[in-house]
Copies of this chain bind each other. A is one copy, B any other.
Amino acid sequence: MIEDKNQQRTPLSELGEFKLIEHLTQHFKITQETTIKGIGDDAAIIDIKDKQIVVSTDLLVEGVHFDLSYVPLKHLGYKAMMVNISDICAMNAKATQVTVSIAVSNRFPLEALEELYAGISTASKLYNIDVIGGDTTSSTSGLIISITAIGEVNANDVVLRSGAKPNDLIVVSGDIGGAYMGLQVLEREKEVFKVNPNSQPDLSMYTYIVERQLKPEARKDIVDLLQQLNVKPTSMIDISDGLSSEIIHLCKQSNVGCDLYENKIPLDPQVISTCEEFNIDSTTIALNGGEDYELLMTISQDDFPKIKGNPNLTVVGYITEKDRGMHLVTRGETKIPIIAKGWNALGENIE
């Protein structure tokens, strides 16, 4: 589907492990003053001084988290970084360093890994993050990417999942459901391609949602915005598995309930039109589709004037006492219990 225009294929066996690491990481520059020692010793060294450190890790497996028949390797490298940076953003922290480990089968030539690392490199430059270490090894099948992200935060600024209080407003950044619908479009085109390998997919109608799927952005800008607005959320989580799954996490860990308003959920027009085309309910997608990497947070009502009218932040409901339960208030004003059916790496419902 996506044609490989790079015809050069250097077998990894020509390099060996150490030369491969050296080759792939040669263009990574250290920019964080907290990075004392990056790649090249047994461990990297960081000196954060008076801040706290946040650490998050994610494992992406070919055939489970991504399909290389329509995901370009460069985008994959970029996205793998975003998945981890997003977790650091969800702590209201600033990502500063990452370690990147990959396992690859010998079906990948060097040029493929160069593409993957080009995406990682782009992300590290754009988000001002040092790649300080990693491991490169072979796998018996497919590609596995494991990234650990490290960030810094003032102890007073940390936002956990557990701080939501009754009457707090529930706020979502950006819009949701796009990444999932982008995946549906790509999966459909893959099926068409299987039947007719000469077909040229026209994705121009789906640019936004396909980009949401292939090249998501971690909402570092929202963390910066909140600081500018002088708003410290009472709780926060990133939306990787779908809104319903994430709001359940926040409510359970905060020991509260919630009312979420269907008509408030921010959807891009392309999500709505594609849902209509696929004959899927857009609210279901917003609740259960994953990989949007937006931030879901709760804020005190006192902070509402500060975020009011901001196009990046949408109030979608409010926190209630725990015994009120977790509900979606539909357009028809019926209340239905929220159940997580989000993207699940092990393939089942969470509840």
- Identify the A interface with B (CB < 8 A): 12-13, 15-20, 36-37, 40-50, 52-59, 61-65, 86-88, 90-91, 93, 97, 99, 101-103, 132-142, 144, 146, 148-151, 153, 155, 158, 160-162, 236-238, 253, 344-350
Contacts and interface: CB of A to CB of B under 8 A. Distances in A.
Contacts of A132: 55
A16 B350 contact: yes
Given A17-B350, A41-B161, 6 more contacts: A16-B350, A42-B161, A43-B55, A44-B56, A56-B99, A146-B146
A19 to B, nearest CB: 8
A2 B272 CA distance: 56
B345 A56 contact: no
23 contacts: A16-B348, A16-B349, A36-B52, A37-B158, A41-B90, A41-B253, A42-B238, A43-B56, A43-B149, A44-B54, A46-B53, A55-B150, A57-B99, A57-B134, A57-B148, A58-B135, A59-B101, A59-B146, A61-B103, A61-B139, A64-B137, A103-B144, A138-B347
A42 B56 contact: yes
A134 B345 CA distance: 14
A345 B17 contact: yes
Contact of A41 (B91, B137, B344): B91
Contacts of A155: 36, 47
B138 A42 contact: no
B144 A142 contact: no
Nearest to A63: B140
Contacts of A42: 56, 86-88, 90-91, 161, 236-238
A351 B56 CA distance: 35
A88 B347 CA distance: 36
B137 A103 contact: no
A348 B349 CA distance: 44
A257 B132 CA distance: 27
A345 B138 contact: yes
B350 A18 contact: yes
A20 to B, nearest CB: 7
Contacts of A54: 43-46
Contacts of A64: 103, 137-140
